[in-house]
Amino acid sequence: MERLSLHQFKVLGVAVLIGTTVLPLPSLVITAAGRDGWMSVIPGYAAAIPYGLLLLSLLKKFPGKNLLEISEEVLGKWVGKGIGLFYIAVMTYFGGLVISQAGRIYTNTIMPLTPEWVFHLGLTILVLLIGLGGIEVLARFSEVVFPMFLLSMAALMLFNISYLEDGELEPILAQGIIPVVKGSLKLLPFAMEYILFLAALLPFLPSDQFAQKNMKKSILQLSLFAGALGMLGVIINILSFGPGDFYRQDYGVITLANMVELRRTMSGGESILEMFGTGAIIIKGAAYYLAAHWGIKTVFGLKSKFWCLALAGAFFSVALMINRDVDMLIEIELVDKFVILPFAGLWIPGIWIIARWRKRGQT
Amino acid sequence: MRKCVINIGLIISMLFLSGCWGHREVEEMAWVMAVGIDQGSTPDSYLITYQVVLPKSGEGGGASSDSWTVSVEGKSVRDTAERVYNMLYKQPFLGTMEEIIIGDKVAKQGINDVVDFFQRYYRMRRTMHIMVTKGEAKDVLNTEPRFNQSASLTLMHIFDHNEKTSVYPPTRLERYLTLIHRDNSAQLLPVVNIIEPDDQQIQYEEKEKSKELEVRGAGVLRRDRLVDYLSDEETKGAMWLDDEVNERIITAVDEESGITLGGTVVSTKTDFSVSKEEGEECLHFNIKAHVVLNAVEGEWAMDQREWQEFLNEGEKKLANVIEGECQKAIQKAKDIKVDFIRAGRFVERKNPKYWSTVKDDWENILPDFPITVKADVTITHNGTARNGPVNWSE
């Protein structure tokens, strides 16, 4: 049985939490809280903490099982399989959207003439290869690639210092705390995206005694670290664009990278950022691929390579279905808000409450 | 069999790994360095001037470039770009653009429509400079400065060393787009002027190519419309208030002794505060500047004590010059009721509650809003010699 180390668990967690969400994150919080949007980020990502703790609590009661298996045990076979089926559909559809997003970022910025399907196909193949390798391959990939993504982000912020507007964060809390809370609520789906992945990852969590002791702490650390990274990104965006200009941006980070001029050359820093950003997107895409793959294994018991290829085909098809940028952004927002958030928000506490209630009944 | 298929696959894949599909050599491209935007012959058209630099191999193996300027009339910038594509034997590349020059007439009508293309098109970079000219942008780009460079390259180099003088706001597109979204947004764009011999106290020999370009002063924008121009001193004052001065040459004259002090500001910081005085909100600017003394002109000779006293007085004189420039900028903002000194934004930062009550009527409140400026100059170095080249015994 494959197992993650504690370090791999943390890096993978941060990568899935912040990986692609760092792109739309600033515009979401700025829309809600304006200049104070940066304050919304850490509380928003911290929503992953209670849900993560609930999952750990369930893992303790049902060792070695993922949440789909636990659901079948707690809610009965057919209800559990129904939830599993829905889970597979959500992970597949959202994974496809993540691939689509990556391709669209390329065609929107540095390679507009290349057909989108080329990016979608390339990314799907990479996701498939990682998926075939399993969770350890994904974890190792994250350990190598994600720090590079963070370094490229840090370099991007450093090189943009000369464009920062003094005092854009002031006045602080001029509109009160309510907009900040609203901003945090907008980020809840991001935390739930990770939690849904974690629900299927449970059997692969580190099992040694030291890791067991530190799992709760690790979830706390990775959520807060992802939140802090996101907050830094939002602060840089606000200082660079101001809330008004930033409100108009779909991907402010890319615009920011474009302003990093490689002296008297044609390309901007966005090509470098996108190179490492692709790595982050592959991590997230592969995470959803594996989650859907484990779901298929759990619900249908299908393990052959044919189903792996079929799943990759489904990812590719979803990515191809979206034709316009605005459609893709709205689709991601809708799935986040009306599918992932309510699904994870109800499913995990629901199972936890029922499992606890049944145990009490038994005792 | 399996090995054979893999080997054939690998050999075939080599064909696709050259990495040179759709490549374009640098020599095949025409780099668009600047675009000028003027009013066209009809109210809904623009005259767009493109300045293109064509790289070529120069004498002695070095690289050099020719420039090519063309004006095309059309409904939009994109519209005219198409015509330029069909005119040039090389492929125009817009990603190298460094300047957008906007003619007076277009600037007065509003520039957001023309700016949209530059902030949206994927090849453009928001770091390009945006400026206005009192005449036509076409004339600016058709100027051939005596150094035999194109106008666009000349302007690019002028902006490169702007921080050595800090006499105009080097507004980039990204800053324009940031400031346009503020409450009561007003901002400054640098003004590019065409200089001719004996023009504006500048003299040089008149030859075939006898024009020069100078960036000086600023145009005031209310939202996206040009409403006025600032004088040199008003622009300098606005630069102090906005804390945009890096280095600045500064001169003060002591009218009593007739001594002229000339120095370079090497570091400066403008702070601001908002306080309530006699029941009214008041904005205070506090400027601290460090100056290196470069020239002390006049008939004088002093010992150490007198020199120390003289420098103390000199610091005050230099501070007066800075305060005077700032006061001129403030007065201009009050006179034209356009807050290009961003007083409203400073008030908002320090007292958002008060700002929310005045922001809708700010332009009418600004003329009577109390604003004070205090400059504090320290002469950190005065050179190796104390006295000037005068005969001590005399």
pLDDT tens for B104-147 read: 999 999 999 888 888 888 778 888 999 999 999 999 999 988 77
- Model pLDDT, residue B62: 60
Mean pLDDT value across chain B: 88
> Across-strand partners of A19?
none
- Model pLDDT, residue B377: 96
Does A258 sit within 8 Å of B181, measured CB to CB? no
Residues in chain B with CB shorter than 8 Å from the CB of A164 are: none
Cis peptide before A171 (omega within 30 of 0): yes
Rounded Cα–Cα distance for residues A79 and B354 (Å): 59
Name the pLDDT band for B59 (thresholds 50, 70, 90): low
CA B13 to chain centre: 51
Residue from B86, B55, B52 nearest B69 by CA: B52
Nearest Cα residue in chain B from A264: B96
Q: Scanning the structure block, which residue is given the tokens 């004006």?
A: B71
What is the distance in angstroms between the CA of the first residue and the CA of the last residue of chain B?
107
Residues in chain B with CB shorter than 8 Å from the CB of A247 are: 181
Residues in chain A with CB shorter than 8 Å from the CB of B127 are: 163, 259, 261
Residue from B228, B291, B306, B220 nearest B261 by CA: B291
Name the pLDDT band for B387 (thresholds 50, 70, 90): confident
Nearest Cα residue in chain A from B32: A266
Category of B217 on φ-ψ map: left (φ > 0), alpha (ψ -120 to 50) or beta = left
Most confident by average pLDDT, A259-273, B332-346, B373-387: B332-346
Rounded Cα–Cα distance for residues A289 and A306 (Å): 14
- Model pLDDT, residue A9: 94
Rounded Cα–Cα distance for residues A307 and A311 (Å): 6
pLDDT at residue B21 greater than cutoff 80? no
To the nearest whole Å, the CA of A264 is away from the closest chain B CA by 8
Cβ distance B96 to B31 under 8 Å? yes
Nearest Cα residue in chain B from A107: B122
- Model pLDDT, residue A257: 84
- Model pLDDT, residue A165: 86
Does B174 sit within 8 Å of A266, measured CB to CB? no
Indicate the residue of B22, B96, B174 with minimum beta-carbon distance to A266.
Answer: B96
Cβ distance A203 to A9 under 8 Å? no
| B179 part of contact set with chain A, CB < 8 Å | yes
Residue from A284, A19, A274, A263 nearest A156 by CA: A274
Question: Strand, helix or coil at B210?
Answer: coil
Best to test chain A binding among B123, B124, B152, B160 (most A CBs inside 10 Å) = B123
Does B181 sit within 8 Å of A244, measured CB to CB? yes
> Across-strand partners of B261?
B252, B296
Amino acid at A239: L
Span B167-189, mean pLDDT? 90
pLDDT at residue B57 greater than cutoff 70? no
Does A165 sit within 8 Å of B95, measured CB to CB? no
Nearest Cα residue in chain A from B94: A266
pLDDT at residue B342 greater than cutoff 90? yes
Best to test chain A binding among B126, B185, B241 (most A CBs inside 10 Å) = B126
* Structure ipTM: 0.83
Handedness of CA A297, A302, A305, A309 (dihedral sign): negative
Residues in chain B with CB shorter than 8 Å from the CB of A241 are: 174, 177-178
| B126 part of contact set with chain A, CB < 8 Å | yes
To the nearest whole Å, the CA of A122 is away from the closest chain B CA by 14
Cβ distance B227 to B338 under 8 Å? yes
For A154-168, the pLDDT digits (tens) are 888 888 888 888 889
Handedness of CA B69, B73, B75, B80 (dihedral sign): negative
**DSSP category for residue A338:** I
- Model pLDDT, residue B198: 72
Name the pLDDT band for B380 (thresholds 50, 70, 90): very high
Residue from B106, B134, B152, B153 nearest B194 by CA: B134
Does B180 sit within 8 Å of A247, measured CB to CB? no
To the nearest whole Å, the CA of B319 is away from the closest chain A CA by 24
Residues in chain A with CB shorter than 8 Å from the CB of B126 are: 255, 258-259
Residues in chain B with CB shorter than 8 Å from the CB of A167 are: 345, 349
Nearest Cα residue in chain A from B270: A166
Does A245 sit within 8 Å of B177, measured CB to CB? yes
Q: What is the enclosing helix (H) or strand (E) of A155?
A: helix A135-159
| Residue with the larger pLDDT of the pair A244 and B358 | B358
Share of chain B above pLDDT 90, in %: 56
> How confident is chain A (363 residues) per 10-residue block, as mean pLDDT?
88 91 84 92 95 94 93 93 96 95 85 88 94 94 92 86 87 92 94 96 87 88 94 90 83 82 65 84 95 94 89 95 88 94 96 88 70
Rounded Cα–Cα distance for residues A176 and A170 (Å): 13
Around B203, how many Cα atoms within 13 Å sit in the side-chain half-sphere?
Answer: 1
CA distances in angstroms from A81 to A73, A76, A293, A307, listed in the order given:
10, 8, 14, 18
Rounded Cα–Cα distance for residues B23 and A345 (Å): 50
Residues in chain B with CB shorter than 8 Å from the CB of A108 are: 122
To the nearest whole Å, the CA of B307 is away from the closest chain A CA by 39
Does B122 sit within 8 Å of A108, measured CB to CB? yes
What's the token pair of residue B174? 């990204």
- Model pLDDT, residue A53: 95
Indicate the residue of A109, A171, A259 with minimum beta-carbon distance to B126.
Answer: A259
Residues with Cβ within 8 Å of B95's Cβ and at least 6 positions away in sequence, in order, are A266, A267, B123, B124, B125
Nearest Cα residue in chain A from B153: A264
Rounded Cα–Cα distance for residues B227 and B317 (Å): 33
Name the pLDDT band for B85 (thresholds 50, 70, 90): confident
Cβ distance B302 to B382 under 8 Å? no
Residues in chain B with CB shorter than 8 Å from the CB of A244 are: 178, 180-182
Residues in chain B with CB shorter than 8 Å from the CB of A110 are: 122
Residues in chain A with CB shorter than 8 Å from the CB of B177 are: 241, 245
Rounded Cα–Cα distance for residues B100 and A193 (Å): 44
Q: What number of residues does chain A have?
A: 363
Q: What is the enclosing helix (H) or strand (E) of A359?
A: helix A341-362
Cβ distance B77 to B48 under 8 Å? yes
Question: Strand, helix or coil at B370?
Answer: coil
